[in-house]
Amino acid sequence: MEKQTKILIMQQEKKRNFLKRLVLVVVVALCLYGLVQTGADEWIVPLLVILVFIHGLLLFGKARRISALSSIKAARRLIRLRYTVEFCLVPILLPIALLARFPDYLSTPVSIVLLLALLLIAFLKQYLELRIMRTDPSHPTDDDLRKKTRMAN
C-alpha cells in the first residue's frame, strides 16, 4: 500500500475516534476538577482508573488497525510498541495532576522522577518513530500526517 493511501486511512481513523477521545478528555478533566475541589476520593479515583483503562483500549485498537497497514512484520511490532509507549504517558501525567491536590507531597525527588519518566517516554516515541521509518519507509510519520492535514484544510 502506498504512503498517500496510508495517510488517508490514518486521517479517517483519527476523525472516527475524535468524538470518543474528546468525551474521554472532558470526563477526565471534570473528574480532576471534582477531585481538586471536593476531595471526593472514594468515587473519583476509581473512575479515573476506569477512564485510563478505556483510553488504553481505544489506543490499542488504534495501534492494531494502524499496524495492519504495514506489510512488514517488524514494522507492525514497532508500531504497536510505539502506541504502548504513548499509553504509558497517561499513568505518568495522572499522578502529576493528582499531586497538585496535595502540594506537600510533590517533593523534589518525586518531581525529578516524574520529569525523567516524561523525558524517557518522549525519547522512546521519537526513537521508535525513527525505527519505524527505517523499517517501513512507506509508513507515514507524525510529521507526514501533520503536513498532509494542513495541506488538506
150 phi-psi bin (left φ>0, alpha ψ -120 to 50, beta other): alpha
* Contact between residue 17 and residue 62 where contact means Cβ atoms under 8 Å apart: yes
**Residue the block writes with cell 525519547:** 123
- What does the pLDDT read at residue 81? 92
pLDDT at 43: 82
pLDDT digits (tens, 9 = 90+) for 52-84: 889 889 989 989 998 998 889 999 999 999 988
The average confidence (pLDDT) of the chain is: 83
Gap between the Cα atoms of 66 and 83, Å rounded: 10
Polymer length in residues for the chain: 153
